[in-house]
Every structure is written in structure tokens, then in C-alpha cells.
């Protein structure tokens, strides 16, 4: 388990910190810091009322809530979104309304999940050729249905 410093912003006062809804939950529920409404097809960055300091070597992934997606057609764009360890601004959730009806939520309603995850750093090494595989250059859908 890692510890993540959380700075409550003035418009986030009184809201719950991100938390797990059950012992087996992978993601922590995060709530909206203000009332909002999304027209059909609209998207917006919804403030959460806090900023974080993620330890080096980790990220926080922002993921949709399955209930919002199923019942209302509301999901997170850029999923999973990444909050980098060196970002210190307010955490915002990019929501999109994919349904044909407007969606509204009140301050304090759960809008997404946050999943802390380790990050593996890499570097690319240019080569003259790549090793052969059974798939080769087969792209989208090339492995069958």
C-alpha cells in the first residue's frame, strides 16, 4: 500500500476523500465538487476539489464508473486517464455523455474511480530489424474473431 498526499481545495471542503466502496474494490470512488449537467454528446472536465502528490514511480488511473456508463451512457474520455506523479493541479475527471438524454449530477455524487498503479519506465533502442513472430505485422483483427 502506498500513501498519497491529498490537498483539499476550498471548493472541496466537506466532500469525502476518494475511498474504496468495498474490501475487494480496485478503484477508489471520487465525487464531483460542483453540480453539473451534460447535454447529449457533451463533454466536460469535472472538478473534484482536491490535488494530490503521487509518489515517484506511480500514477493514478482515472476510470469510468460502470453504473453511470450502463444506466446513463456517461463515461470517462481518455480512459484510463493518467495523473502523473509530478502533477500538482486539481484532479479533474473528463466525462462524456454518450446518450441521447441530458445527464445531471449534484455536488458530492460519485463520478469516477481512481486506481493507483506502479509505472515502469522504458527507453527505446533503435535496431535494424525486429525478431520474427507468428503474428508478424498482422494488425487490428488479424488474430481471428
pLDDT-derived band at 145, boundaries 50, 70, 90? low
Cα separation of 16 and 24, whole Å?
19
What is the distance between the alpha carbons of residues 58 and 6, in angstroms, rounded to a whole number? Answer: 15
User: Which residue, chain included where needed, has cell 481518455?
Assistant: 78
Q: Are 30 and 113 in contact (CB under 8 A)?
A: yes
d(CA 29, CA 34): 16
Peptide bond just before 104 cis, omega within 30 deg: no
Runs of H (alpha helix) within 10-142: 66-72
Write b or e for each residue in 86-101: b if 16 or more Cβ atoms lie within 10 A of its Cβ, otherwise e: eeeebbbbbbbbbbee
Looking at residue 137, what is its pLDDT?
Answer: 83
Q: How much is the pTM? A: 0.89
pLDDT in tens, 25-40: 999 999 999 999 999 9
Spatial contact of 76 and 64, defined as CB atoms under 8 Å apart: yes
Tens-place pLDDT, residues 4-27: 999 999 999 999 999 999 999 999
Report which secondary-structure segment, H or E, holds 71. Answer: helix 66-72
Confidence of residue 134 (pLDDT cuts 50, 70, 90): confident
Say if CB 105 and CB 47 are below 8 A apart.
Answer: no
Q: What is the CATH number of domain 5-118?
A: 2.70.40.10
Q: 53-93: per-residue pLDDT in tens?
A: 999 999 999 999 999 999 999 999 999 999 999 999 999 99
Amino acid at each position: 500500500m502506498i500513501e498519497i498526499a491529498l490537498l483539499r481545495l476550498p471548493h472541496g471542503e466537506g466532500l469525502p476523500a476518494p475511498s474504496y466502496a468495498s474490501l475487494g474494490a480496485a478503484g477508489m470512488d471520487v465525487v464531483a465538487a460542483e453540480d453539473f449537467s451534460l447535454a447529449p454528446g457533451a463533454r466536460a472536465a469535472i472538478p473534484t476539489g482536491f490535488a494530490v502528490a503521487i509518489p515517484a514511480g506511480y500514477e493514478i488511473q482515472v476510470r469510468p464508473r460502470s453504473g453511470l456508463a450502463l444506466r446513463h451512457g456517461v463515461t470517462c474520455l481518455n480512459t484510463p486517464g493518467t495523473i502523473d506523479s509530478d502533477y500538482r493541479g486539481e484532479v479533474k475527471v473528463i466525462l462524456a455523455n454518450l446518450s441521447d438524454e441530458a445527464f445531471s449530477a449534484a455536488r458530492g455524487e460519485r463520478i469516477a474511480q481512481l486506481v493507483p498503479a506502479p509505472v515502469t519506465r522504458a527507453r527505446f533502442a533503435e535496431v535494424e530489424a525486429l525478431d520474427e513472430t507468428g503474428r508478424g505485422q498482422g494488425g487490428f483483427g488479424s488474430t481471428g474473431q
